[in-house]
Structures are given as C-alpha cells and as structure tokens.
Amino acid sequence: MATREQARGEHRPLNPRSGRNESQEERADRMWGELIQEVRVAQTGVQILFGFLLTVVFTPRYTELADTDQTIYIVTVVLGACATGALIGPVSLHRLVSGRRVKPQAVRWASRLTLVGLVLLLATMTASLLLILRVATHDAYVPYLVAGVVAWYGTCWFLLPLWTRRRYTSR
C-alpha cells in the first residue's frame, strides 16, 4: 500500500538515523510510542518497589535496625522516590507540551529522563538488596553478592544494549 506522498509522486528520502522513510514528526511519533511502552515496564517495577519501601518504617522491626541499616534504608527510599519521579516525568512532559509542536524535543527529554530513571532504579535496587542481605545474613560476603547482582543488572541494562548498538548500527 502506497503512502500519500508516493501516490502523489513525491519521494521522501530515507532517514539516515532510523533507516526508514519517515518525516521528523512521524519518527517522533514512533519513538514516543516505543518510549512510553518501555517506561510502562520500568514504572510498574519502581512503583511497586517504592510502595514496599514506604511500609518498612511502620514495622516493629524497623526500630531494631542498626543506625547504618536505617541510613541505608533512608537513602534507598530517597533513591526510590527520585527514580519514581524520573520515570513518571515523561508522562507529565508529554501532557504539558502536547499540541505545542515540540514532540521531537519532548522525545529527547523524555528519553533522558527515562535513562536517569533507570540509573536511579539501579541504585534503588542495589541499596534495597544491600539492606535486605545485611539484615538477613550479617555476613562479610554481602558486598560481593550485591556487587555481583549490580554487575548483572549493568550487563543486562547497559552493556548488552550498548554493545548491540555499536555492533549492529550501520555507519
């Protein structure tokens, strides 16, 4: 099925950044849809984690935590709040600039907020895991376990995607 431009005999050049025949607006629309789908996955996880973190302080066991563990908890809650804000930010950004003809710029900013949110989510999960393992085991191997999990997250979330991007992106 031909596009309207093709039907009128117009030719749109191949977009070198995306490898598609799409205008800047069409590209922004497509990228926005993809970004929102990605954010939905991360938002759900960070909101559930943040919700659970908020309840910990109201348990009787919280007052029994060592000062260091309470500090880790506070840092974890703050990181979770920041991650939640960054991952909800693209929705607010879209709502406030919708109809202003700035979708390409909004996509770039929303993408940046999402990346910041993922880094903050990584920090939140790291701190959560550290706190849980410290309370559960009190063993010296906890930092090594946490470091191993962080390395795994880093590989899955950043190294593999960056390697794929570098390896398979045409110049």
Give the alpha-carbon dihedral of 89, 92, 95, 97, to 10 degrees: -70
Q: 4-13, 19-28, 113-122 — which one is most confidently predicted on average? A: 113-122
Domain ranges of the chain: 24-168
Model pLDDT for residues 50-99, shown as the tens digit of each residue: 999 999 999 999 999 999 999 999 999 999 999 999 999 999 998 999 88
Is residue 63 exposed (0-12), middle (13-18) or buried (19+ Cβ within 10 Å)? exposed
Give the C-alpha separation, 44 to 15, whole Å.
33
Report the Cα 15 to chain-centroid distance in Å.
Answer: 27
pLDDT tops 90 at residue 14:
no
pTM over 0.85: no
Q: Residue 126: its pLDDT value, please? A: 97
Model pLDDT for residues 104-158, shown as the tens digit of each residue: 999 999 999 999 999 999 999 999 999 999 999 989 999 999 999 999 999 999 9
